[in-house]
C-alpha cells in the first residue's frame, strides 16, 4: 500500500504532495470566479468537483489550470435525479470528460463505487475523509473480477469539518506538515466568508438559497483573521513556489512510478 512513487516523493522533500480540491456545492458564479481568480493569481492547479452547470464552470473547464471532477448528490431529494444512474447521467451531461469524483456529503457504498468505475468512467474517487491523518497514500480498490477498479485518494482536511473540530486555522493546526499526501477539501463559500466557525455561514444561508445570493449579501469579512480563506491563501502562497498538480495529474504520476 505504500505503493507510491518513492523517487518522486523524495524530490518533494520526503513528504507527499499537497493537492487543492474544491466542492463547488452550488456556489453562485461570482463566488466560483473569485476562487478561480485567487488560484490563477498564485498559478496553483486545482480540482473542482462540480455540482451544476454554469457559465463560470464551463469557462473554467477550458482552463489548463483546472480539472473539473464530478460531485454527485445521492442524498434524498437530490436535484441530480432519483437513482444513482440518473444522478451520474445528469453530471455526465454537463461534464462529459470528468474522471475524478467526490460524492456530496461523502455518500458511498460498494455498489455505488462499482457503478462509478464500471459504467460511468470514473477513475479516481476522493470521497474518503481522514482528518489530520499522516502517511496517507492513494490505493487501488478492485470492484469487479473483470479488472474494474478505482484509485481512491483520501483527503486529510475539509473546512466545515475542521470548524466542527475547532482546530486552529493554520498549516500546523490542520497537521499539514506531517508526512504523506495532503489532499485538501475547501468549499468556495467558506473561503469567501473566511469561515472560522459555521455560525457565519448559517447566517449567510438564511438570506436565501446560496445560488441566489450576491456579493451584497456577504457580511463584512476580515481576511486577516484566521479562517478558511486565510488558510486557503497560505496554502496557495506555499504552493505558488512549487509545481502543483490536479488530482488526475498527480495520480498519473503516481501510477507511472508504480509501474516503473
Ligand atoms: Zn458537497
Examine the pLDDT at 28 and tell me if it is beyond 90: yes
CA of 37 to the centre of ligand 1 (A): 21
Q: For the chain, give the number of residues.
A: 260
Domain limits, the chain: 6-259
CA of 176 to the centre of ligand 1 (A): 22
SS3 59: helix
CA of 25 to the centre of ligand 1 (A): 5
Q: Which helix or strand (DSSP H or E) is residue 7 part of?
A: helix 6-11
Examine the pLDDT at 159 and tell me if it is beyond 60: yes
Neighbours of 232 (CB within 10 A): 25
Question: What is the distance between the alpha carbons of residues 8 and 233, in angstroms, rounded to a whole number?
Answer: 26
Looking at the whole model, is its pTM more than 0.85? yes
CA of 255 to the centre of ligand 1 (A): 27
Can you give the pLDDT at residue 10? 37
Q: Summarize pLDDT for 170-194 with one digit per residue, the tens.
A: 999 999 999 999 999 999 999 999 9
The arrangement of secondary structure in 6-259, i.e. its CATH architecture, is: Alpha-Beta Barrel (3.20)
Question: What is the distance between the alpha carbons of residues 59 and 80, in angstroms, rounded to a whole number?
Answer: 21
Q: Summarize pLDDT for 86-123 with one digit per residue, the tens.
A: 999 999 999 999 999 999 999 999 999 999 999 999 99
CA of 103 to the centre of ligand 1 (A): 7
Amino acid at each position: 500500500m505504500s505503493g507510491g512513487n518513492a523517487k518522486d516523493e523524495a524530490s518533494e522533500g520526503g513528504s507527499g504532495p499537497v493537492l487543492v480540491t474544491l466542492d463547488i456545492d452550488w456556489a453562485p458564479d461570482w463566488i466560483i470566479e473569485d476562487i478561480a481568480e485567487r488560484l490563477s493569481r498564485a498559478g496553483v492547479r486545482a480540482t473542482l468537483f462540480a455540482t451544476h452547470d454554469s457559465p463560470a464552470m464551463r469557462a473554467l473547464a477550458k482552463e489548463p489550470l483546472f480539472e473539473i471532477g464530478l460531485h454527485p448528490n445521492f442524498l434524498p431529494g437530490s436535484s441530480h435525479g432519483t437513482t444513482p444512474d440518473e444522478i451520474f447521467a445528469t453530471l455526465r451531461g454537463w461534464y462529459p470528460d470528468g474522471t475524478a469524483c467526490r460524492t456530496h456529503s461523502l455518500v458511498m457504498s460498494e455498489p455505488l463505487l462499482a457503478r462509478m468505475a464500471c459504467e460511468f468512467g470514473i477513475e479516481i474517487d476522493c470521497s474518503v475523509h481522514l482528518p489530520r491523518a499522516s502517511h496517507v497514500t492513494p490505493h487501488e480498490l478492485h470492484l469487479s473480477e473483470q479488472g474494474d477498479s478505482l484509485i481512491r485518494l483520501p483527503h486529510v482536511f475539509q473546512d466545515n469539518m475542521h470548524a466542527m473540530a475547532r482546530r486552529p486555522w493554520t498549516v500546523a493546526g490542520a497537521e499539514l506538515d506531517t508526512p504523506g499526501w495532503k489532499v485538501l477539501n475547501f468549499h468556495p463559500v467558506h473561503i469567501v466568508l473566511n469561515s472560522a466557525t459555521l455560525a457565519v455561514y448559517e447566517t449567510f444561508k438564511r438570506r436565501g438559497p446560496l445560488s441566489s445570493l450576491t456579493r451584497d449579501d456577504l457580511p463584512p469579512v476580515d481576511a486577516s483573521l484566521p479562517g478558511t480563506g486565510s488558510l486557503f491563501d497560505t496554502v496557495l502562497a506555499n504552493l505558488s513556489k512549487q509545481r502543483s498538480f490536479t488530482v488526475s495529474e498527480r495520480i498519473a504520476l503516481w501510477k507511472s512510478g508504480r509501474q516503473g
